[in-house]
Amino acid sequence: MAVILRNFNIVRITDGKKVVNCTVVQMCPDYAVIKYDGKKYKVPYPIIKEVIGHELLISA
């Protein structure tokens, strides 16, 4: 099963120990730039497990 990513998707990421939900800010050929707790991180695609929503659909 393929995961289709777009900017501002909320994705679930796991490193085997910790699972976090974060927002995709930018997509690059080898990694996605995600925003988590106000900071940006480069994350390789294999550790993105699923898309769980879209930032514009979450109510404040």
Q: Which two tokens stand for residue 50?
A: 């699923």
**Predicted pLDDT at 1:** 47
Q: What is the pTM of this model?
A: 0.71
**Predicted pLDDT at 57:** 53
The Cα diameter of the chain in Å comes to 32
Cβ(25)–Cβ(10) under 8 Å? no
Domains of the chain: 9-57 (2.30.30)
* Torsion angles phi and psi, residue 34, rounded to 5: -120, 155
Cβ(13)–Cβ(4) under 8 Å? no
Q: How far, in Å, are 59, 60 from residue 32 at the CA level? A: 24, 25
**Predicted pLDDT at 22:** 87
- pLDDT digit of tens for each residue in the chain (60 aa)? 455 666 678 888 887 788 888 888 888 888 989 998 889 999 998 888 888 876 655 544
